[in-house]
Structure 1
């Protein structure tokens, strides 16, 4: 059976998720599970979709950085892993 795609987050869910953060904290948008990047959000605009439902759009601020590994793991994009132990090389 095919997986059901995740539904879009609502404005109320976004507000609730951000409720405990300080107002001056930055907000980043994580994208691309295969090569995780984080983008800053510059502005927000709203428009109506074909069903006349108001939809909010976040605009990329054109600043991007690699998404931190713990974030990619939390989002389920990467498996937790530990680096293999390395043996010290010795001269023969």
Structure 2
């Protein structure tokens, strides 16, 4: 079963709670989470004749901004919280 697609109205509703002056980023690739700068919003028609809106990253070489912040990847459930391994007791000089 597929999940329902987000609509432009749903996106507007979600964005209405955000800072209107904040830059927009796109989170991509859950297996290697990266952040991308958005450059365009394009409206087109898909193969069934339905109107679809695309959010596209720019073509500039700096459009990919780097790794997604860990808290964002965790909130998207693309990765789990990482906990440090338990530390082993340090060995002392002289074998103790």
TM-score by length of 2: 0.79
Q: 5+ unaligned residues in a row in structure 2: which ranges? A: none
Match of 2:47 in 1: 50
Larger Rg, first or second structure (1 or 2): 2
Q: 5+ unaligned residues in a row in structure 1: which ranges? A: none
TM-score by length of 1: 0.81
Q: Distance in 2 between matches of 1:42 and 1:88?
A: 52
Match of 2:35 in 1: 38
- State the Cα deviation string for residues 4-41 of structure 1 (Å, max 9, x = none): 33332111111111102122111111111111001110
Q: Distance in 1 between matches of 2:69 and 2:2?
A: 24
Match of 1:73 in 2: 74
Q: What is the root-mean-square deviation of aligned Cα atoms in Å?
A: 1.7
Aligned length: 89
Q: Does the 8 Å CA contact 2:34/2:64 hold for their aligned counterparts?
A: no
Map residues 7-22 of structure 1 onto 2, 5 A cutoff. Answer: 7-22=4-19
Match of 1:28 in 2: 25
